[in-house]
Structure 1
Amino acid sequence: MASNRFHPPYSVERGRARFRASRTRLRASALPIAQCALAAGLAWFVANDLLHHNDPFFAPIAAVVSLGMSFGGRLRRALELMVGVTVGIGVGDLLISWIGTGAWQIVLVVALAMATAVFLDGGPVIAMQAASSAVLVATLIPPSQGGGPDRMFDALVGGLVGVLVVAFLPAHPVLRARKQAADILADAADVLQKVADGLVANDPKPIEAALKRARTTQASIDALQASLRGGREISRVSPLYWTSRPRLARMTAAAEPLDNAIRNIRVLTRRSLTLVRDDEILDPRLVDQIEKLSHAVAVLRRMVLADPGQQPDQAEAARVLRSVSIGMKPELVEDAGISATVVFAQIRSLLVDLMQVAGLSRISAIATLPPTVPKPGYPTDH
């Protein structure tokens, strides 16, 4: 019998998918790669050609490490690196000039450099940079070769060059976060539509798929937060994007309610799955509300991607969400079971979160909902 162990078409398709994923990663990382490369070359040029330091390799190293591949925390990382390198070089130069080089000397130098760094700040970057710099001093560039102060100054040059590259070759402080938020909202809309489909068909499979997808969104939320931190740094140091601060502030204000919305969607999806498995009775109008909410989230996604002056804007997204909220009346869960009541409450909470993403205050968002009195023992809306 022929073996079915290998499936060439599947293998080819999987290879293509991996190639597309790799290409997407490379495209997303193109700017930080260019920034690191340019900063390394500029740092070497400044330290070697302008300041005439001998073999100033600490300068390009400091520039690359201070930038890194992530957009968030670069200014703090640059400061920590400069402090760490300075501590490592200072401790290494001081001790190695007295006790010489060797295995036990390296043990002592690294321990003291890291202890000094932890005492000064405690950040992991400072401690690791202090240790690696001390090792270099103790092995490849002992104090006998001179240049101790120059080495510390090279680290400062590299860090400053890194900051200047971020200032004058910056990523857009808002664009990356907008795309990430739009992707999160696309996932949210798809999850809600699958939940509605599963409830209509009384079939758990679409809801199980929706729950699986909803559980993968936390990494996207974390990436959005990192992009916003990086955007705030860029808007502070880059004159090119000072005018983007108001939009960045709006995007930052929307991040927390977006996170809350995704959490509420997970709860809604789990309860919907329980509802179907328990064969609990559900008012069809409530299912219709979930489908309408999916469409409203799609509008909210387009709002996030729209440039200033384009439609849909915040007012249009809020209007669509209000059209859903006015239908969330307590009569939808009269004589309903606990799962249906929880789904009802989660939809109301979700609407409040999404309207905050659209720019409304929490109080204004809650005011758009019809009044309701929760049943004793059941969860409240907010």
Structure 2
Amino acid sequence: MAIAGVLAQAKREGIAVTKRRAELARIRLRAGMWPVIQTAAAAALAWSAASVLLGHERPFVAAIAAVISVGAVAGQTLRRAAEWILGVAVGLAVADLIMLAIGTGPVQTGVMVGLAMTAALVIRSGIMFVTEAGVSAILVAGLDPTTHGVSPDRFLEGLLGGGVALAVAATFPSNPSLRVQKAARPALEDLAGALRESAVALIAGDRRLAGEALYKARHLDESVARLREELDGGYQIARYSPARRRHLGNLGPYSAVAEGLDLASRNTRVLARAVVSLVHERGDVPERLPEAILELALAVEAFGSGLEQPRRVSGDVRCFALGAASEATRSLETRSDLETSVLVGQVRSTALDLLQAAGMDPTEATETLRRHAGRTGPCTGSPESRERVA
């Protein structure tokens, strides 16, 4: 019976694992199927266009260039998309010339890649441009020099394939609002996490935790930069693709959030350094200070509750940001040494950044923060926000 029970349990667990894997596969397919369709369509169209316009019988280079380019140009700014496409074409042209002179092989391939990337650097310093020149050189290095003489054909096919990729990405674009929303989530989570860890370190008086919070705060720029990049790409899609123009209005709140997060991330780094300094000095930490930092984290998390409902989110963010500033200011009633004063100043500065991210202009945010200094009272945000506080 015991063996039968174990086998039955193993069978149930196996079925559960299989279901989870199937669900994950379905999610991956749903998220990645559109780029697959875009890439397949671009390859077919590039081959057809090269056959008709250039008269080539087997324009596989155009199809390959389209496949390489379509994923890269989707959602990018026009400048970066142009860099990518031109990099493919330059690599093809330079490698074509070098191959005719020295043939093919492992050493020749290295020479081709190095010279193609060098030529790209002479023309322009964009990393995408230079990298794609090297990738295209490898593509040419695999060709047989005895059957393919030097000609502008592959260069033209590369430009044509990249152009088709850009056209496909513009005609059948990805969802710009969804791209920006996905990029905003880790930026918000990272900032809220750094603030929470700073508060916990302050409560525990733990130097190690304070150091970890500072380390996390110093790396906030990466997720914010990714958000800005996706926002730029989203605006490009919405402006130049008729099918996605309605998303322009949806991107506005994200633009304000990105600017506010950028400023808040800088102030959070200074805040985390102040926490490290205060923990090293230790002494008695005013109870209101950790609470104020936790309210800043709640203000950041309020953005993630749904930017598609900006009024509700704006009210929640303002509620928690003003609460954080008030709690921090009141902590000076019990302790006003230099370390505490610096930390209070950073809490207020971060709260000011979050108020602006929630839609206030700088003057309004500053005046509102001044009026609410030292006030008390519970936050009256949305039910979801009150649940998070509880």
TM-score (norm 2): 0.71
1:166 matched to which residue of 2? Answer: 169
**Are the aligned partners of 1:78 and 1:163 in contact in 2 as well (CA < 8 Å)?**
yes
Q: Distance in 1 between matches of 2:185 and 2:40?
A: 30
Cα deviation for residue 94 of structure 1 reads 6.9
Shift of residue 188, structure 1, vs aligned partner: 3.2
In 2 relative to 1, CA 366–71 (structure 1 residues): closer, same or farther, beyond 3 Å? farther
Q: CA deviation at 1:222?
A: 2.9
Task: Flag the structure with higher helix content.
Answer: 2
Cα contact 1:80–1:125 (8 A) shared by 2 = yes
Q: How does 1:147-162 map to 2 (within 5 A)?
A: 148-162=151-165
Does the CA-based 8 Å contact 1:32-1:70 persist in structure 2?
Answer: no
SS state of the match for residue 304, structure 2?
A: helix
Alpha-carbon distance, 1:271 to partner = 2.4
Partner secondary structure for residue 359 of structure 2: coil
Q: Distance in 2 between matches of 1:203 and 1:76?
A: 47
1:351 Cα offset (Å): 0.5
Equivalent position of 2:124 in the other structure:
121
CA positional deviation for 1:237: 2.8
Residue by residue over 1:151-187, the C-alpha shift from the partner in whole angstroms, topping out at 9 and shown as x without a partner, is: 3332232112211221233222122322332333234
CA contact (8 A) 1:215 1:266 kept: yes
Q: Give me the whole-angstrom Cα distance separating, in 2, the residues matched to 1:299 and 1:355.
A: 12
Taking the aligned partners of 2:253 and 2:319, their CA distance within structure 1 comes to: 18
Query: Partner letter of residue 44 of structure 2?
Result: G
1:268 and 2:271 correspond: yes
Q: How much has 1:216 moved relative to structure 2? A: 4.9
Counterpart CA distance in 2 for 1:59 and 1:346 is 55
Cα distance between partner residues in 2 of 1:205 and 1:126: 42
Match of 2:308 in 1: 307
Q: Which moved more, 1:328-337 or 1:353-362?
A: 328-337
Q: RMSD value over aligned CA atoms? A: 4.1
Gaps of 5+ in 1: 1-15, 373-382
Task: Tell me the alpha carbon deviations over residues 46-77 of structure 1, each in whole angstroms, 9 at most, x when there is no partner.
Answer: 33478652221221222122234585536434
What is the CA–CA distance in structure 1 between the aligned matches of 2:292 and 2:322, rounded to whole Å?
Answer: 12
1:26-65 matched pairs, under 5 angstroms? 31-48=34-51, 52-65=55-68
Amino acid at match of 2:336: A
Deviates more, 1:178-187 or 1:56-65: 178-187
What residue number does 1:364 align with?
364
- How many aligned residue pairs are there? 350
Q: Compared with structure 1, are the counterparts of its residues 121 and 227 closer, same or farther at alpha carbon in structure 2 (3 Å cutoff)?
A: same
1:322 aligned partner: 322
Alignment counterpart, residue 226 of structure 1, candidates 216, 226, 229: 229
Cα distance in 1, alignment partners of residues 183 and 137 from structure 2: 40
Q: Matches of 1:209 and 1:129 in 2, distance apart?
A: 37
Matches of residues 74-153 of structure 1 in structure 2 within 5 Å?
75-87=78-90, 101=103, 117-127=120-130, 129=132, 140=143, 142=145, 145=148, 148-153=151-156
What do residues 230-285 of structure 1 show as CA deviations (whole Å, max 9, x unaligned)? 21232233212112223324423331320221232233233224323422333323
Does the aligned pair in 1 maintain the 2:299–2:316 contact within 8 Å?
Answer: no
2 CA distance for matches of 1:228 and 1:63? 24
Q: Specify whether residues 58 and 237 from structure 1 end up closer, same or farther in structure 2 by C-alpha distance, changes over 3 A only.
A: farther
1:263-315 CA distances to partner (integer Å, 9 max, x unpaired)?
A: 3223323322432342233332333323333333332332xx2324x762434
Is the Cα–Cα contact under 8 Å of residues 29 and 69 in structure 1 kept in the other structure?
A: no
- What's the secondary structure of 1:53's corresponding residue? coil
Q: Are the counterparts in 2 of residues 63 and 158 from structure 1 also a CA contact under 8 Å? A: yes
Sort the Cα spacing of 1:158 and 1:193 in 2 relative to 1 into closer, same or farther, 3 A.
Answer: same
Greater shift after overlay, 241-250 or 201-210?
A: 201-210
Cα displacement (A) at 1:350: 0.4
**Mean CA deviation greater in 224-233 or 286-295:** 286-295
Which of 235, 240, 248 does residue 238 from structure 2 map onto?
Answer: 235
Q: Secondary structure at the match of 1:61?
A: helix
83 and 201 in structure 1: CA distance in 2 versus 1, 3 angstrom threshold? closer
